[in-house]
């Protein structure tokens, strides 16, 4: 059944959804055709398209240059409501240097672990050493325990240390209160545990939620891999957009 581009809005996770996951965040490959398709899709949807990522918005702009899109970054701690507007940051969500030092001390005991400081969250990547996951998780939970108001969010070979006040679902809710998203039916595609609040947010608004690479009970359907998401986006560009 075709989707009406005048009545839907599109929210897209990036790593593992639009892009194939790489060993390091900086090693991802952005196909030129994807940048073109995102630009065309954003135009055809009247601007009702946003990237919803754990990356910073500055990082997203670098990845998809010269394209600038509406976006939320670092799991909702950053948001940009229009490509022409500045990035809004929740400074209260910034993590103190003391937490970063604690995370670094933990990581030093696990060879192969890669750290990522995004100011509002700290990513601890262990794709090169997957066997350390249980011990690494336990050590991180101990390091960021009370009195800090923090959560440890597991993802695909990564643990994210962040505050509980922000998530992708809340960010999608903020977009849905703004033009051009308001009044449209939301569609969200994501691949990870970090995307579950986004799935819940669109389902609560009568929207469609799609997982990538795995079937989840909280979604409408699923894509086999990021390549399938990119192909689906291409159908939108060619005026062939249908439900996955």
CB 69 within 8 A of CB 49: yes
Sorted by sequence, the CB contacts under 8 Å of residue 74 that are 6+ apart come out as 54, 55, 56, 93, 118, 119, 120, 121, 162, 166
Exactly one of 13, 37, 59, 191 is catalytic; name it.
13
CB 105 within 8 A of CB 175: no
CB 67 within 8 A of CB 34: no
CA dist., res. 72 & res. 173, Å (int) = 11
CB 9 within 8 A of CB 49: yes
13 is catalytic: yes
Q: List, by residue number, the catalytic residues.
A: 13
């Amino acid at each position: 059944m075709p989707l009406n581009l005048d009545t839907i809005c599109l929210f897209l996770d990036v790593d593992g959804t639009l892009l194939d996951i790489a060993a390091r965040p900086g090693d991802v490959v952005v196909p030129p055709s994807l940048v073109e398709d995102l630009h065309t899709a954003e135009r055809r949807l009247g601007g009702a398209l946003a990237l919803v990522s754990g990356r910073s918005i500055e990082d997203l702009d670098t990845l998809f240059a010269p394209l600038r899109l509406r976006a939320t970054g670092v799991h909702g701690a950053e948001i940009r409501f229009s490509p022409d507007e500045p990035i809004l940051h929740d400074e209260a969500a910034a993590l103190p240097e003391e937490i970063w030092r604690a995370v670094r001390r933990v990581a030093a005991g696990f060879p192969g672990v890669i750290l990522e400081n995004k100011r509002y969250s700290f990513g601890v990547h262990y794709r090169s050493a997957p066997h350390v996951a249980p011990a690494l998780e336990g050590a991180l939970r101990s390091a960021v325990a009370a009195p800090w108001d923090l959560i440890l969010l597991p993802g695909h070979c990564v643990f994210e240390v962040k505050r509980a006040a922000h998530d992708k679902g809340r960010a999608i809710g903020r977009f849905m209160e703004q033009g051009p998203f308001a009044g449209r039916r939301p569609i969200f595609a994501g691949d990870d545990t970090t995307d579950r609040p986004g799935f819940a947010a669109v389902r609560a608004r009568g929207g469609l939620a799609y997982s990538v690479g795995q079937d989840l009970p909280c979604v409408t359907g699923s894509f086999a891999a990021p390549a399938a998401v990119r192909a689906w986006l291409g159908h939108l560009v060619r005026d062939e957009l249908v439900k996955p």
